[in-house]
Amino acid sequence: MTDKMNMNNIYIKHHGYTISIAQHREGTVSPSFDRIVTQEIMVLGTDTIVHYDNTIDSLIKALQSLVDVNKYDDDL
């Protein structure tokens, strides 16, 4: 059976920036799929990408690291 990709993205706006929260899974059985390929938050239009693991604490920490937009203003 061929592996398939399950791409999940949430897009939000933050001070004029679009933020993509992504978790992409790969595998042969839908809907759970068996391998996490990536978990990341990206500020679109910049080079800012923050990865998180499979815990809520890691996701919260990654989101909190992006609250200060001045950190990625220079990327534009």
35 within a domain of the structure (yes/no): yes
Q: With 70 as the cut, is the pLDDT of residue 76 above it? A: no
d(CA 48, CA 66): 9
The reported pLDDT for the residue numbered 60 is 95
The pLDDT of residue 1 is 53
Asked if the structure places residue 73 within a domain, the reply is: no
Give the pLDDT confidence score for residue 36 in this predicted structure: 79
pLDDT score of 6? 74
Q: Look up residue 18 and give its two tokens.
A: 């679009």
Residue 47 is assigned to a structural domain of this protein:
yes
What's the total number of domains in the chain? 1
Domain that holds residue 43: 4-68
Q: What is the pLDDT of residues 9-61, one digit of tens each?
A: 999 998 889 999 998 877 766 666 677 788 999 999 998 999 999 899 999 99
32 in a structural domain:
yes
Give the residues across from 4 on adjacent strands. 27
Q: What is the value of pTM for the model shown? A: 0.75
Question: Does residue 24 lie within any of the structural domains?
Answer: yes
Longest CA–CA separation in the chain, Å: 47
| Residue 74 located in a structural domain | no
